[in-house]
Every structure is written in C-alpha cells, then in structure tokens.
Structure 1
Amino acid sequence: MVPTTRSEASENVSGFALEVLDELRIRMMESRLALQALAGEAELNFDELDEDLQAVQDAAREAFEAASLVHQGAPLDSPWADGPSRPRAIFARHNAAVRQGAHRVDPLMTMACDLERALWQLRMGDDAEAAARRPRCAGTVRTTGEKCVSAVIHLGGGLVGTQCYSHATPAERNQYKVNHEVLNAQRSTALGALLNRRRDAGVIVMEHWLQYREARRQRLGNGFLPL
C-alpha cells in the first residue's frame, strides 16, 4: 500500500477540534483532582471511580494525539475499513506508513501535556536520573564465567561504580546503602510535594465548579438552559 497524505486522505481535524479535545483532557484531569480533594469532605473510598476517570483521561489523551497526527498531515497507510478510523487505527496506519519509508510525526505538545507532567509525574533530582542510566557491571559470574548483566551501583553525586552490588567492594556497598537512603528520602519528599500540588489544584477546581454551579442555578431560575 502507498501511504496517503492529508490532501489525499478523507480524514480531517480542524484546529478548533484539537482545542476542544485538549480541553476535554483537562476536564478529565480536573474531575480526578476534585475527587481526590474530596477526601476531607466525604469519608468514602473513591478508588474505583478514580480508576474509571483515569481510563477516560488516558482515552482522551489517545484521542487527542491521534487527532493531532491527522491535523498535522501525518502520512497514513490506506484505511482498513469504511468510515472514520479510531485513534488506535490512526496510530497503526501512521506506523505502517513509516515502515514504508514515510517520515514520522509526533503528537503535538499542549497545555494538557504540561498539566499532566506537573501533576502526575514525579520530579526527581539529577542523582535519581543518573541512577536510572547505569551501565552494565564489569564483573563476571563466578559459577559460569560469563559477564555479569546487572547494572553497576549508584554511589551518589552523579557517580556510579564499575560493578554491581554483588561484585562491589565493602566500601562501595556502604556508600551505595547511604546513597540509597538519600534517594528514598528524596522520593518521599518529591511524592509529598506532588500530592500537595494535586490537593491544592483540586481545591481550586472545586471552588471554580461551585462558582459556576451558582451561575448555572441563576440561569436556570431565569428560564435559560443551565449550561
């Protein structure tokens, strides 16, 4: 099959549609934030409801990303069925076109993306990032003589050892333990800050909702649609 371009394809997504889809993502996030901020007002377990809202939030992100590909004119393989393609089909058709030599297009980054990063991604320091990029151990497995495949230990301060914990020296192991405790404390602090940001954002969302609810009540009383 020959990849199609936006001018050849039947799909079309306007800038207006993208704005609405991005706002839909934000509304889903607002719903989760408000629900989580209700903990002090309602002694109920809303875990299942939050999971359902997260699923909708993820689906809204997927829909936006697929729409943004179409809006940017991303090359797509020919449709596989009649009618508009679902978001996952758009991704699959774009990947198929890329495999045939077309250029890859990334989804647009928007306000909703910024909010997701700020409120749902744990922010860690440089040490944590260095720990995640550790090379392989230089030691060998005693029983087989093969090269060790474990990652080297992280010693803190952006430094890593040359061997994994099993092959490290006693001094390196002790330094690793100290650094591990520091990283755990950093994660705990970062998680606490993240949860505080979510709670504060949830309170703001609830306040806005209640203000809008009062305005809606007044419109309804005046005979207008309460939207």
Structure 2
Amino acid sequence: MRVLLVEDEDGLVSALRTGLARAGYAVDAALTGAEAVEKLAATAYDLMILDITLPDTNGLDLCRGVRRGVIPTAAGPDLRVLMLTARAGLADRVRGLDEGADDYLTKPFALVELQARIRALLRRDITAGSAVLTVGGLLLDSARHLASRDGRELQLTLKEFGVLRYLMSRPGHVVSAEELLEHVWDENADPFTQSVRVTVGTLRRKLTVDSEEPLLETVIGRGYRLRVAS
C-alpha cells in the first residue's frame, strides 16, 4: 500500500520510512504542506500520515482542504488520514477528528502501534476483522508478515507480499500493472522498468507448485487477477 508521510523532522521521516518499508509499505515523504499538495494531486495514495505543525501551513488546514475537495487528490474520497502530532490535548484530538482525520496518534509513539493503526485504516474497505486476509486457501497476516496457501507457508519478498496483499484486497478484479506500481512501489520506482512484471511472475510461481490450481492469472492487455481456487 502507498503511504504519504507529511512531516518536517528529518530524523523521524528517515526512521518511519525504514520501519514502514520493512512492514511492506511504499512510503513517500513531503517535508512541507506545499510539497504534500503536489504529491496528493499526482498519486493515488492509500493513506496520508500528517503532522499538524508544518513549516508553511497547519496540518489541520491541509486535512480540511482535502476533505472538502478544495485540495484535489488523485485518491479522491478513498484517501485515509492519520494525524501524527505532538499535540496531545483533548481539544486538539477532537479538532483533528472533526477536520476529517480518520485517526489521531500523539508523539511520542511506538512504531508497532502506528503500524496497527495503519492496518486498521487500510482494511476498512476489505474486512472488519483482524489483520488477517483470507481468499480461498490463501491467508495473509500483515501483523506477523506471514502468508500461506492451504497451510503451506509462502516465502515472499517485501514487494511480493505487497502485491499479494493488494490483489487479495480485490479478489476477482483485474488490477493493471500501473495500479500495482502506484500502490506497492514508492516514488523512486522507475515506471519504465519491468519490476511489476518480474515481481508478479515470481509471486505466481510461489503461489502455485506441483499440481496446485493456478491462482494468479494474466489478463492480456489489462493486468492481473487473483481468483479463488475451486
């Protein structure tokens, strides 16, 4: 999943990019509100992690602008917003949620809690349960970073895990290579490489061994589709 981190503390940006990348997220960063506005218009992010105190604007104003449509976003109304700020007062938390944030976490914080809150926000449209996704015999546990098919553990790279998680959130739907690139890779990815095709190819081989029914299929000219085994 693709995350935009809007934060002006370089050390925190570096730490969060590393920690979230290890959890399988593609993370872009914006150090100012103006930079965030540009990136929001260009990329359909799944989640924005937003500080309130920014050098050129107030994060609350940015959140309100996004929710009211004053600030255009490629993600549209599906963009989730998690406020991450040192402002811990009750009035601050209430205002943040009233301005349109989906969740509010105060600094200092534990990375594991931030990751749990991110999982909760990103699964709202796919399941009301735990961090575990299931599609047929496929099981994916985002919290423990484990995936299996019919009890057989899958040894996946971070990108393969990210692609599988995205496809499992949309079983039966055709997902284009461009969509996968936008939601699983970060802004440093070269759109002209064969990264998506290669990653999908290795994932397909890991999903199906011996006489198992193929689960991941290519729809020529359109993209890829995950289907449930019969």
Output the TM-score relative to the length of structure 2. Answer: 0.22
Higher gyration radius (CA): 1
User: Relative to total residues, which structure has the larger strand share, 1 or 2?
Assistant: 2
Structure with more contact order per residue of length (Cα contacts < 8 Å, sep ≥ 6): 1
Whichever structure has more helix as a proportion of its residues is: 1
In the superposition, the TM-score normalised over structure 1's length comes to 0.23
